[in-house]
A and B are shown apart, each in its own frame.
Chain A
Amino acid sequence: MTSIIAYEPGASQLLMGNEAIARGALEAGLGLASAYPGNPSSEIIGSLAEVAREMGIYVEWSVNEKVALEVAAAASFAGVRAIVAMKQNGLNVASDFLMNLNLTGTNAGLVLVVCDDPSGQSSTNEQDSRPIAKWAELPLLEPATFQEAKDMAKWAFELSEEIKNVCVLRSVTRVSHARGDVRLGETKPPSRDARFAPTMLGQFTPLLVTLKHNMLHQKLKRVREIFESSPFNWYTGPEKPELLIVTCGSGWYYCLEAVKVLGLESSVGILKLGTTWPLPEKLVLEHLARTDKVLVVEEVDPFLEGNLKELVGDNFSALGPLTFYGKRSGHLPSVGELDPDQVMGGIGSVLGRERVAVEPEYSKKAQDLTGGMVQSRMIGFCAGCPHRATLWSVKNALKLDGRGGFVTGDIGCYTMGLGPTGFFQLKTAQAMGSGAGLACGFGNLDKLGFAQPVLAVCGDSTFFHAAIPALINGVYNQANFTLIILDNSATAMTGFQPHPGTGASALGEPAPSVDLEGLCRSLGIQVEVTDPFDIQDTTQKLLDLMQHDGRVRVLISRRKCAIVRAKEEKAAYKVRVDSVRCRGESCGCARLCTRVFQCPGLIWDGESQTAKIDEVICSGCGVCADICPASAIIREAA
């Protein structure tokens, strides 16, 4: 990745959407950036951290999204422009603070970037975050291009300062993670006069709630006026379109392509909105008056569609008959990510035209082209991942224990423990820290006949983020469960960001490291530490911990993430398979390593009917040597 300040102003640079947002913030004179990592938002703070020293700004990975927003708000209160970034789930964590911050207002520009993940490609949901802007009565911007991502981010600070409130910038995976050319502007140094000096009594408090609520309405009214002339909204198409498409964000490119492929430029118009809440009502009504058919294209929920219909309801008598098409009418899918093909289908069915579908062979051709280079592999743990080893012991311990015990989990790489490479061990996965929270509940159901052992898992970063309150709750309410902290010393899933336990700051400088054992022990909890690569010891510790009754226990399963390990140290072992000893598919093994254990470092050789090591992928952890029933997998010191 090239630094976002590597090029001169005026130059055009290929930037990822998230980098463009970060660049826009620097051009606005950003002073502080904070976030908890979460895809698809992680690169915003990541790329700012890289240039923090040079730009003289403060950047931090916060412990969670609520704290991140609070940190950014403090900067704003003190007159420093600040940006906070999060994924859609993170916004829920931050929302408690946000729903009060909107009322108290801000000082210097404060931009909240939320990156949604249609289809949940790296998320546990595909929540549409936009309704929070309406709920909190805050302005909402949705970039459709990479240039716009940068320009909107920059302008959002001015808007925020104009109305003294948070401005929400909403991106989606295809905007955040794709790359495009961005024309750069001047970066601006931050204000260095940080000082907290309220100008009104109770300015940053909820003093006089209704008065402040009324002020919030006034601010929103002002935003609507500003949006009427925003350059982020435009129309292309005929004066009186047969069909008017109203779209925003990622949908715009899909619409452009669909209309072009269908050859409908002369009959279908596209109203592209960059300011989606509050709606620029005059502008929108002007366009609605020129058609009788409206198709709304957006990701994920019919948020814009609903707001347009509200607007039409308010102006019913002034408008002619209008028919709306979109997600609610079934002309576009109501779930998942959109693509040009789906939009073409929507337009075609509204206008009664033949759908020009993507070439049927398209995906096959793409596969043929890349197939030789990219091996097809199911989603799962990496070779040498400590989570696989821990979950192997968890599986065995639960089977041996035999009382129907189970695992509650949450968000991290280990969420994949719900699938085959984690032996289907995770039985629940919702929010950050919810494995421990659920375990608190299960762990007190003994009064209602419940008799199953409960194991909660959470990663080290998730532990700091949200599991600590649940753990304390478990201690206080004497819940019966074992919390397994999968300590891989990284926020691995989002790109190995440091966290309070790693001893490094966002800038890679040494930072105090919070002691997991010490923290848990201070709560009066029995704490055991295990090396997940020692399967026998880990299984035994789990069996013993499950036998204890009454209180919360903690097992810290500690091994560095295999990818971090590979960057820092040499493989511990050279692993090979003795093909004479390998029992293969015969009774006595039935391919335990390649069929059940499923480390990608192990491959099944159909020709020799034995397992083999994929030397390119094998990380040399040596765990498979311990699970081989025939001692055919041999590890030698590397």
Chain B
Amino acid sequence: MSLEVKGCRELQSEVLARDLCSLCGACVGMCPYLVTYKGRVVALDECNLSQGRCYAFCPRTSLDLDLLSQTVFGVPYTADELGTVQQIAMARAMDDGIRSKAQYGGTVTALTSFALEQGLIDSAVLTAGDENILPSGTLANSAAQIRDCAGSSFVAAPTVAAFNRESAKGDVQRIGVVATPCQALALAKMRASPLENRNNVDKLSLVIGLFCTWALRYEDFASFLAEKVPLGQIVKFDIPPPPANIFQVFADSGRIDIPLDQVRSFIRPACNVCIDMTAEFADISVGAAEGVAGWNTLITRSDAGRKLVEAAQAKGVIETKPLPEQNLAHLKEASLLKKKRGLNKVIETTGSDQDLLYLRLASEVVRGLLS
């Protein structure tokens, strides 16, 4: 198999028009045609090229997971629940200041700052919200800037667009990206792309993946929230562990609890066909440690990821402890459930298990996942 490359017209008809866009931002920031605006990818004019980077890098077109796995890790794609794994543990930042600002254990902030400090990267592409909670990718060159971006957005963000823009500049050479699963997929596709122009992806030195079950559509979610609280007053969001089943909005004026099911109605349709919960194509992946407040789950996938984690441990930047068996089993179950749901949604959409939209999966893999 290989990665099929078409043009912007096909990106519009196969992805945007079918609501398959996850707003990762991979198609944006390279040309004058595609831009993002208020949580949407917008085609301003018709590009007439038959092949384009926009189509090539999109995680919702021609996704050959085996090729990506070979490219990123040098091993075939196995469809294991958690992808390629070297180590799994619980982790947290040693710095109290980081932990107090962070969503869970502050591991992402601590590791990103550490990578910058060590010179593994010279800048980091992160995600930050504006005063209207609209998130976008941003470039950070200091620990303070990195800390400002701590915390989860829950709203889909076109972060890869920032990588596209920044990697084209001469003053950055080694870029780290903190990426959701779809963003990590896009970056892996960039690496594996058959196109000559691979967008300076050689500058991509580190991908820290984030666990993700879904992301929200900006425009209607923001209007929904604005009826409850001025958007400018919102400090952060959180979803406490079950059985709370609420979405918490922390604002200057206090906390607002919204039933989670109401918030779920704003999930991007593209998230329903996603089969990656743990950012399987990142160097390391980080998420909540369910039931253990103030800690993260940390999956180490690549050699580069392992070296970073080990060095950070050695320097006392993060501390780790084993992930209890029960938590691991639960994580695998949740991840597998997302794969099954995503695959079933794809098959429901096309009406055939022979047409899996963007997924290029061997039929035995499909059978295995659905069994």
Contacts and interface: CB of A to CB of B under 8 A. Distances in A.
Interface of A: 395-396, 399-400, 402, 423, 585-590, 592, 595-596, 627, 629
Nearest to B32: A629
Contacts of B49: 585, 587, 590
Contact of B31 (A400, A627, A629): A629
Contact of A587 (B37, B40, B46, B51): B51
Contacts of A586: 197
Contact of A590 (B31, B43, B197): B31
A549 to B, nearest CB: 13
Nearest to A593: B32
B52 A400 contact: no
Nearest to B52: A587
Interface of B: 30-33, 35, 37-38, 40, 42-49, 51-53, 195, 197
A592 B47 CA distance: 8
A595 B48 contact: yes
A589 B195 CA distance: 16
A396 B195 CA distance: 29
B189 to A, nearest CB: 15
Contacts of A596: 45-46
9 contacts: A399-B43, A402-B38, A402-B40, A587-B195, A590-B47, A592-B32, A592-B45, A627-B32, A629-B32
Contacts of B31: 587-590, 629
Nearest to A596: B45
Given A395-B44, A589-B31, A402 B37 contact: yes
A402 B220 CA distance: 13
A587 B32 CA distance: 10
Contacts of A588: 30-31, 53, 197
- Leading 9 A-B pairs by shortest Cβ distance: A629-B32, A400-B37, A588-B31, A596-B45, A587-B52, A590-B47, A592-B32, A590-B49, A399-B44
B48 A402 contact: no
Contacts of A400: 35, 37-38, 42, 44
Contacts of B53: 587-588
A585 B31 CA distance: 12
B44 A587 contact: no
A183 B35 CA distance: 66
Given A595-B48, A596-B45, A589 B32 contact: yes
Contacts of A423: 45
Contacts of A585: 49
Main secondary structure of the interface of B (DSSP, over half): loop
Most buried by A among B40, B44, B48, B53: B44
Most buried by A among B32, B33, B48, B195: B32
B223 to A, nearest CB: 12
B44 A396 contact: yes
A164 to B, nearest CB: 61
A596 B33 CA distance: 10
Contacts of B47: 590
Contacts of B37: 400, 402
B197 A587 contact: yes
A89 B7 CA distance: 46
Contacts of A629: 31-32
Nearest to B219: A402
A107 B45 CA distance: 60
A622 B285 CA distance: 48
B177 to A, nearest CB: 20
Contacts of B42: 399-400, 402
Nearest to B53: A587
B86 to A, nearest CB: 36
Nearest to B35: A400
Contacts of B33: 590, 592
Contacts of A590: 31, 33, 47-49
A634 B273 CA distance: 45
Most buried by B among A400, A585, A587, A592: A587
Contacts of A592: 32-33, 45
Contacts of A587: 30-31, 49, 51-53, 195, 197
Contacts of B52: 587
B33 to A, nearest CB: 8
Given A423-B45, A590-B48, 10 more contacts: A395-B44, A400-B42, A402-B37, A402-B42, A587-B51, A587-B195, A588-B197, A589-B32, A590-B49, A627-B32
A586 B53 CA distance: 10
Contacts of B45: 395, 423, 592, 596
Nearest to A628: B32
Nearest to A592: B32
A587 to B, nearest CB: 5
B218 to A, nearest CB: 12
Nearest to B164: A588
Nearest to A585: B49
A401 to B, nearest CB: 8
A627 B32 CA distance: 8
Contacts of A395: 44-45
A342 B336 CA distance: 77
Nearest to A586: B197
Contacts of A627: 32
A151 to B, nearest CB: 56
A587 B33 CA distance: 10
Contacts of B51: 587
A400 B48 CA distance: 20
A590 B52 CA distance: 10
Contacts of A396: 44
Contacts of B30: 587-588
A152 B43 CA distance: 59
A583 B33 CA distance: 14
Contacts of B32: 589, 592, 627, 629
A400 B34 CA distance: 10
A264 to B, nearest CB: 54
Most buried by B among A402, A588, A589, A592: A588
A629 B35 CA distance: 12
Contacts of A589: 31-32
A84 to B, nearest CB: 45
Contacts of B38: 400, 402
A26 B38 CA distance: 64
A627 B52 CA distance: 20
A402 B49 CA distance: 24
B316 to A, nearest CB: 44
A596 B43 CA distance: 13
B82 to A, nearest CB: 35
Nearest to B30: A588
A423 B35 CA distance: 18
Most buried by A among B35, B43, B49: B49
Nearest to B56: A587
A452 to B, nearest CB: 16
A595 B47 CA distance: 10
Contacts of B195: 587
A595 B48 CA distance: 10
A537 B80 CA distance: 51
Nearest to B195: A587
B251 to A, nearest CB: 23
Nearest to A588: B31
Nearest to A543: B37
A536 to B, nearest CB: 12
Nearest to B197: A587
B232 to A, nearest CB: 17
Contacts of A595: 48
